[in-house]
Structures are given as structure tokens and as C-alpha cells.
Structure 1
């Protein structure tokens, strides 16, 4: 019986030893694995990591985790850009790769940093129930040590369709020095060229920790570029402290494109005529963003019939929004036709780096006048002033090759505010190149306005065939001075107490360039001021001469203490014997409070009236 039992046990044991043992099954247990944890400071990094459901190795089976949700948190100073991840199912031993995006600061210390993860998943238990588990875990990243490079500042003087200097300032913010460093700046935009190409490099033999380096590049912008900000790419290739060759992460280098350097032409004037030479004048303005140094305005003409005597006009440096004048003497061929023409000017200058630059052509519209017999008015001088008579004088020159006879210069001012005393000036005979001075006395109405004025002259003459001819209008430009006062009036004695009378003394100065005679002065006081002697007379005042005149002035007793204006005008004769009444002048008079030495005049008058009324009543009662 014992033998049978032992035999049965041995048989069962042998059979059992030949049947595979069933693997153990366990609940899901999710882990993270980071194959490459190194990140670079100063740039955005991507870190790949694995989610693995394999708690006890390959000999055990783990239940598949489903609906796996991963919520990612920041770990200062690293800013994690990825917020959530999702895996529909995570089977045993089948890892799933996920990616985290994170911004690593340039000034972060080297070392290991843990990115917190909150993982929530579900699974089916052995009893058929669905369970949900939430666990905290993390992804570890390692910030590498060594040199690091940060762009601290950029500045550019490059303009659209121009060139300039791009300055880039960088600092080694790492914990080690770099040697044999090469900074390469590259442009991926066809509108930007660096040193004539798409990229340019600069070399630093030894770049200490914390040291700042500044690099300059010749930058050119195409005509299709737009003002504003552009982005360039920079990298630093270097050797670390161990002599290993390394390359920094890509650095973003900003560049601001300035607007195009442009110029504007205004106030264009032309005396150019067919078969003659004349002046083309104008004003040029720097409408660009930078100063144009050593600037020269160059005359441009596509017409063979018009040539400048000198094609360049130096204007020096011109700052932004600054304007200056230019002038060219232009000769027009006799075969040309009169009428409007379109010439042009260019500005050749140097930028702030000393590079030569040429602007686009700016249109210069002018009108070419008809051919004349060859007269020119030069050395024009004017003493014209609003409200006065002056002289307009100059020199008439025969610029033709033939003599003229019986020449008469006619002055034809436009408008009614300019009146010449004589409109013609006899010149007589003028040989070729001969000049003759002329002068016109001209009255300028007081209703006129001062400033630049253009006048027309014509020459009536007889040519070599004794034919009577008249030129086209010869235009000249001069200035009319603003209206000036005839006199300068200055009070000498002009202070009174209320209720007081006294002399009102005024100093009068002749400010004209001519002697004035029979000068009658009159004041026009208004209440509370009055005068018992309001007129004064000056026999004669030469230019700049002064004389003091005296009036009688009173201030009423109830006058307020303040300054009052007293109007004054003058009637006088000028050097031509014309009688004129001046504009009104206002002279200040100071009234102070009464000094208390007596009753105010108003009060005295009131007392007299009251006493008269009492006497009248008394007289009636006696009757």
C-alpha cells in the first residue's frame, strides 16, 4: 500500500515537471525612460521619453493600461510648452514614445531638472471591474555645462535698397571659457546680404566666461525689402575647456531694416531759355532716416539739347528732414523747343560708415522759355518796403552777339499794390556784352504784403535791320520788406495819481531812411484819462533823430490804479513832399491810487452840485 502511494506520487511529480508553469499577471505599472536627457540653454528644446508598462521584467505579464492621460507641469526655471499627452492603450512591454517641448533659459545653471508628470490611466481587474489610477512621476533632463552664448543687443544702419553696418553684441553666459570660437551669421532672406553673400563669419581666439564680444557685418538690403524687423540665424563653433569641438544651438539675431534713403525737390525756379543759358534753382530735402554726409547734387538730363555747365553742386551734410538750396547753370541748344521739360537730380553721399551711396533720381520739372534777343538782368537790388517808396535797380546786359539800339527797359508789375513812378527806363545802344545800370522808383501800397515777389521786365529795341522788336518777359525775383513804423515812440513821463494832472512827455524817433518834416502829433485819451493840450509839433526829424514832445494829461479821481493805453498818431511830410497820416500808436500811462492830499475831483463836483441845490431851495423859500 505504501509502495503504491509512493509510485503514484512519483508519477504525478514527473507529469507535473513536463507541463509549463503559467506566467504571473500583475496590475499596470507605468514608468518613464529618457534616452537622451540633455538640453541646451537659451533655446527651445524637444525631449523624447518613453512610457513603459512593464513593472517586474519580461517574466511577468502586466494588464494593458488604457485611456492614459499625461498632464505636464513646469519646473522653474524651465518653461514646459507641452501641457497634455494621450495614449489610448499601453500594453505590457510595448513602450510608446512621446515628446516634450520646453524653453530653457540662457542663464540657467547646469545640472539635472525633473519635469513633473501626473499620469492617469484605467485597466480591467481580474474580477471584471474597471479601475482608474492616478500617479505622480517625472522626466529628468540634464542642462549641459560649458560655454553658452546669448545675443544681448543688435543695431543696424542698413536702409532699404542701401547698405549699412549690422552690429551684434554677444555674451558668454556659460560656466566655462571657449577658444577658437567662430560666430557665423546667416541670412535666409534674399533681401538681406551679409558682406556680399548669404553668410559671414567672425573669429574670437579666446572667449572668457562672462565676456562680451561685438561683431560688425556689412549688411545690404535689396530694393524689394520692407522697413521693419528681420530675423537672422547665428551659431558659434568653438572648443570647450577639454579641447572638444562643439557648436552652440542656433541663435536668433534680430535686424531692423530702416526705410529707404530718399530725397525730395521743391521750390524749383528756372530762367532757362532756348539758345541761351539760365539758372535752375531749387530746394532739396533729406526725407530719409539717416544723415547724408558729404552730399553732392548731380544734374541729370536725357536730352542732348540741354547741358549743365557744372553737373555737380556740393551741399555738404544733410540731416534727416533738413533742406538746402542748389543751383545749376543750364545751356539749351537753339534747336530745342520751348515748353515744359523733365530733368532730374541724384544725390551722391556717404553714409555713417563712410560708404559711397547714390540715391534714386528725383524728378526736376522746369519750363524752357522762348528764345530772346539775349538780354539778362543782373545785380538786382531792392529797397522796397510795404507802405513806403523805394528803388528797384540793377544792370541790363546784352548777352547776344549783335548790338541793339534805342533800347528801353519797361517795368510791368502785376497787381495794384506795386506802383512804379516811371514804367520805362531809356537804355539806348548796347553792344554785345555791354551792360547798363537802371533804376525805378516804386511805391508799395500799405495793403501789400512783404516777402519774395516776382517782377517782369521787357526790352523794346531796334535790331541791326532797324526793326522794332520786343522781348518776352524777363522774370526777376526780389524781396519786399515788411511794413515798418515811421516812428519809435517811448514814454518819458507817464505816471499820475488818481485825480491828478501833469505833463505827458513822449520821446519820438524817426525810424525811416528819409527826413520827415511838419510832424503833427496828437493824442486821443479815453476816460478816465483826459487832456487839455492834446497836440504837439516837430518841425523836422532826420533818420534816427529823436525829440521829446509834451502834452497835458489828467486822471479822474475815480480812476482805478492800473495801466491805460493812450492812442497817438502823426501827420507828416516825407522827402517827396507827400503828406501821410501814420497808423495809431499806443503809449502806456500808469495811474496810481490817490495820495490822500485832497478830495477827488468827482467828490468835489458832487459837493458843489449839492450846495447849489441847497441854495436854490433857500432862495425859493425867501420869496
Structure 2
């Protein structure tokens, strides 16, 4: 057996002859189905069946059937389909099969149907081999160009495009946006919904989600539907466009669930609504009602309505007189003044107070918004007496009675009403029948004179000084009732000369005695 093999090998090695053949290249597609408006990969199958016209040793047959330096190029000039892959190099390709992917784009307006894509292939091959026992004696090589085709089928289905967009959002605010889409396909999209997906954490939807869906129902070919969303643009967002990916989920005519390729829309940001507070002044004093005044300007990009200013925190000693004050509507760059009535309790301390302000407003959609980025410094003055008193002739004769005329001046910055004045005296002084007096109202700085009866008993010692006291109960402009601190006024006892003394007469330049300490406040409901 070993000798037989050797003889056979020798016979083959010592033979001569010719091998003639050629490659046989063809192209096909395993799955060539696409939808309009999509991009994907198409797998091209390449087959070389090889043709042997005159047989010979296998190595020579392999050589004549091998396509060398094989390349192919799809031709899309005459079809409404774009082949993104240009020339493909396969290399040396023996008998057998292989697969090669190419990139295909089917435009939105491509009509459903079957399309043949021409393919031009080029390669070289050895057509003829003349061999002897010593090897190849002669070869003949050829170059061939072959045209074949592959098939692409475009389905009938729903396709979509964005036709309009109203998608702008203000930084730090919530806004409604809308995107209009058209079904450009040839099939109804049943039970369709449009899902928007944010690519940035700066843009969120309801409940701070990064996506939101809008149901639009059955969607006929050619019909336009509008998807509306509520988006929030975070306050730290920058001024730029923020992309949204839109996909349509629907059921096709065969009852299968489908999802469209993403469509990109943009949410364009606008500057944050803002306000400036300037020209701030304060008339606040410890123990008094006053006000903070200033100017508010709309420094944001849009007009606002129902603008109101309010303190955003409660200070222990500064009590707002109103929850807020309304200043009305403001166009961009427009300003107006405001006045915040406030009261400082008697426990308060004078000095600068930092007070936070909120600006409430309604935006262009009529939604209420709050701008909370303002702190103002308001000065609080020291406590002062509500009234100033003045009188002359501080003497009273021992054992006599007198009428004391006292000038009372409103020392506050507001009109006071229902002023009840009372005189108090201790032994050896005593009050007479007139120990109270009433003033209907006093404007700031206004004065009036009150008369009080006072007497000194025989127990008084001439040359000594004895005090009398006054207090005042009054009502401020807000209707709150206050009781002033009690202050003391000195009377000098003198030896009686006629059993009685002249009345104390008010004259210009009289000494002023000022109440000290904080006022005690009694609310109207007490």
C-alpha cells in the first residue's frame, strides 16, 4: 500500500496539462426590509461558486476559481435610497460564501415598494494554467467587472416628522411647551403616544422625571398632532438650547407594537425672571409702627402681573403690618415704589436689620411664581416717647390748690386718636376734680394744652420738691391701642402767701419733659 501511494504521487508529479476555470461571483440579501425614515445595516451575502472548464490538480483549480482583490460598490443613483457605504474591499475570495454589512438610509418620503440596488464588482483571476511535472509553465490572468443587484423592500408603515415647535422655557421656572408632528407614512398609527426624553438633568418634567408621554390617539397618514408637555428649567441652568428626543409608540395595521426612530427637538432657554429693589429707606423705631419703602424694578425678560412684595421671614421683634403689598403689573425695565408697614416691638433693639423679601407675581401663562433672592437692610431707630410735655412755674403753695396747664405734643410720625391723659399724685400732693383729659386726635408734631387740678396739703414742707405723674392711652393709625410709660414731673412746694397760688401758665421756650422707655401695646381686641 505504501508503494502504491508512492507510485500514484509520482505519476501525478510527473504529469502535465492545463487547468482552465473562473470565479462565479453573485450577491444577495438575507433581510432587506426597511421602513421609510430609517437608517440601518443591510447584510450583503457574497457567493463564489467557481467554474472549472478543464480540471487538474486541486491547487490549480483553487487558483483559477479564486477572485483576487475583490471589491464591490452599490449604486444608488437611480433609486430613492441612500447607500452610505461606498466601495467595499473583500480581498482574495475563494469558492464559498461570506457576508458584508453596508449602511442604508431610507428617506422619510420613500414610497413603499421593492427596489433593486445595482452592485458593480471588480476582481482579477487566473483563467488558464499550463503546468508540467516541474510546476507551472504558463498562466493567463484576466480582470473582470460584473454587475449584479440586491433587493431592498420598503414597508408600508407610519412615519413621523416635526413640523413646528413652541418650546421655550424660562430658567428657574415651569413652562408649557408643544411640538407638532406629522404622520408622513402610508399607514395609520393606532393608539399613538409621543414620549419626550430629556438629555439634560437641567430639564425635567412632572414630578422631576426626565421623560413624559402625551397620548394623541389614532393618527392618520398626513395628519398633524401636537404633543404638549410641562417642563421645568432648573435655576442653575445656562442660557442655551436643551435637546429633547421624541419617539412615537403605536400599533401598526397588523396589531404589532411599534416605536419610531427618535426625532430631536430643542427647548430653548430664556433668562430667569428677576427683580431689583433699590432706594430702600426705613422709618422703623423700637416700640412703634413704621414702614420700609423702596423701589422695585422688573429686571427680567418678560412682563409680569399682580406683583406683590412681602417679607419672607418673621423676625422676633419686627412684625409685618401686612402680609404683602400689591404694586400691580410691571413691564420689563419698569419700576414702581412700594411701602411695607411694619412694627417693632418694645423688646426690639435699635440697629440695622436684615430682612428677606419675596416678590410674588403671575407669569405670561397666568401661573403664580415667587422670586426669593432679595435681602434688604433696614435701620431701626431707638425707642422714643410718644408725647412731649411742657409747662412753666413748677411751684405750688403749701395748703393750696392750682390748675396745671400742660402742653402736649405728638412726638410720633403718625396721627394718634382717642388720647386719654391722666394725672397721678402722692401725699402730700393730691389731684383735684380734673385729673383726666381727652384729646380727639393729634397729627405728627401737633400740640394742644390740657388743664389738671393739683393741691398741696398742709403736710407739705416748703422748699421740698414733690413729683406728679402722667400717662397717656392712645390709638395709632392701625387701630391698635397703646399705653405710654409713666413719667414724673417735679413740683416745688413754696410757703403760702395768700392761701392760694396762680395757675401754671404755658409759655414759649418752656422746659420739655420727655417720656422714656418703650410703649406698652394693647391690641384692639383686648
For the aligned pair, the TM-score class normalised by the smaller chain equals 0.5 to 0.7
Alignment partner of 1:91 out of 81, 91, 94: 94
1:315 and 2:327 matched: yes
Question: Distance between the aligned counterparts of 2:51 and 2:177, measured in 1?
Answer: 60
**Paired residues for 1:360-509 under 5 Å:** 360-366=372-378, 368-371=379-382, 373=384, 400-405=385-390, 429-431=408-410, 433=416, 434-435=442-443, 466=511
Task: Give the structure 2 partner of residue 270 of structure 1.
Answer: 282
In the superposition, relative to structure 1, how do residues 255 and 79 fare at CA in structure 2: closer, same or farther (>3 Å)? farther
Kindly provide the CA deviation profile for residues 62-111 of structure 1, in whole angstroms up to 9, marking residues without a partner as x: 73334344445554643443344333333321313222143x32222222
Question: Distance between the aligned counterparts of 2:278 and 2:118, measured in 1?
Answer: 69
Task: Give the structure 1 partner of residue 191 of structure 2.
Answer: 180
In the superposition, relative to structure 1, how do residues 34 and 317 fare at CA in structure 2: closer, same or farther (>3 Å)? farther
In the superposition, relative to structure 1, how do residues 299 and 36 fare at CA in structure 2: closer, same or farther (>3 Å)? same
Measure how far apart 1:430 and its partner are: 0.8
CA contact (8 A) 2:44 2:100 kept: yes
In the superposition, relative to structure 1, how do residues 363 and 92 fare at CA in structure 2: closer, same or farther (>3 Å)? farther
Measure how far apart 1:293 and its partner are: 3.8
**Paired residues for 1:271-310 under 5 Å:** 271-301=283-313, 303-310=315-322
In the superposition, relative to structure 1, how do residues 352 and 404 fare at CA in structure 2: closer, same or farther (>3 Å)? same
Question: Distance between the aligned counterparts of 2:488 and 2:85, measured in 1?
Answer: 97
Alignment partner of 1:326 out of 338, 348, 361: 338
Partner SS state of residue 95, structure 1: strand
Task: Give the structure 1 partner of residue 157 of structure 2.
Answer: 146
CA contact (8 A) 2:43 2:99 kept: no
1:253 and 2:265 matched: yes
**Paired residues for 1:38-117 under 5 Å:** 38-54=33-49, 63-71=65-73, 74-75=76-77, 77-102=80-105, 104-117=106-119
In the superposition, relative to structure 1, how do residues 365 and 401 fare at CA in structure 2: closer, same or farther (>3 Å)? closer
CA contact (8 A) 2:184 2:221 kept: yes
Question: Distance between the aligned counterparts of 2:322 and 2:213, measured in 1?
Answer: 45
In the superposition, relative to structure 1, how do residues 318 and 112 fare at CA in structure 2: closer, same or farther (>3 Å)? farther
Question: Distance between the aligned counterparts of 1:168 and 1:436, measured in 2?
Answer: 63
CA contact (8 A) 2:66 2:125 kept: yes
1:35 and 2:19 matched: no
CA contact (8 A) 1:262 1:286 kept: yes
Partner SS state of residue 315, structure 2: coil
CA contact (8 A) 2:387 2:408 kept: no
Q: Indicate the larger mover: 166-175 or 310-319.
A: 310-319
Measure how far apart 1:435 and its partner are: 2.2
Task: Give the structure 2 partner of residue 225 of structure 1.
Answer: 237
Partner SS state of residue 107, structure 2: coil
Measure how far apart 1:354 and its partner are: 3.9
Measure how far apart 1:167 and its partner are: 0.8
CA contact (8 A) 1:90 1:96 kept: no
TM-score between the two structures when normalised by the length of structure 2:
0.61
Q: Indicate the larger mover: 295-304 or 140-149.
A: 295-304
Partner SS state of residue 187, structure 2: coil
Partner SS state of residue 95, structure 2: coil
Kindly provide the CA deviation profile for residues 496-545 of structure 1, in whole angstroms up to 9, marking residues without a partner as x: xxxxxxxxxxxxxxxxxxxxxxxxxxxxxxxxxxxxxxxxxxxxxxxxxx
How large is the Cα RMSD of the aligned pairs?
A: 3.8
Question: Distance between the aligned counterparts of 1:73 and 1:263, measured in 2?
Answer: 63
Measure how far apart 1:224 and its partner are: 4.1
Alignment partner of 1:169 out of 180, 202, 206: 180
TM-score between the two structures when normalised by the length of structure 1:
0.52
Question: Distance between the aligned counterparts of 2:330 and 2:66, measured in 1?
Answer: 78
In the superposition, relative to structure 1, how do residues 176 and 365 fare at CA in structure 2: closer, same or farther (>3 Å)? same
CA contact (8 A) 1:295 1:315 kept: yes
Measure how far apart 1:362 and its partner are: 1.9
Question: Distance between the aligned counterparts of 1:99 and 1:139, measured in 2?
Answer: 12
Partner SS state of residue 156, structure 2: coil
CA contact (8 A) 2:32 2:153 kept: yes
1:193 and 2:188 matched: no
CA contact (8 A) 1:279 1:328 kept: yes
Kindly provide the CA deviation profile for residues 348-367 of structure 1, in whole angstroms up to 9, marking residues without a partner as x: 3333444433223223234x
1:236 and 2:248 matched: yes
In the superposition, relative to structure 1, how do residues 435 and 35 fare at CA in structure 2: closer, same or farther (>3 Å)? same
1:357 and 2:369 matched: yes
Question: Distance between the aligned counterparts of 2:322 and 2:274, measured in 1?
Answer: 23
Kindly provide the CA deviation profile for residues 31-82 of structure 1, in whole angstroms up to 9, marking residues without a partner as x: 322222122223433323233333569x996733343444455546434433
In the superposition, relative to structure 1, how do residues 310 and 249 fare at CA in structure 2: closer, same or farther (>3 Å)? same
Kindly provide the CA deviation profile for residues 114-138 of structure 1, in whole angstroms up to 9, marking residues without a partner as x: 4454444344454446654444544
Question: Distance between the aligned counterparts of 1:173 and 1:468, measured in 2?
Answer: 92
Q: List alignment gaps of at least 5 residues for structure 2.
A: 1-16, 56-60, 130-138, 392-406, 417-441, 447-486, 491-510, 515-526
CA contact (8 A) 1:51 1:98 kept: no
Task: Give the structure 2 partner of residue 159 of structure 1.
Answer: 170
CA contact (8 A) 2:128 2:141 kept: no
Question: Distance between the aligned counterparts of 1:319 and 1:139, measured in 2?
Answer: 65
Task: Give the structure 1 partner of residue 420 of structure 2.
Answer: none
Alignment coverage as a number of residue pairs: 377
Measure how far apart 1:345 and its partner are: 1.7
Q: Which has the higher contact order (CA 8 A, sep 6+)?
A: 2
CA contact (8 A) 1:295 1:349 kept: yes
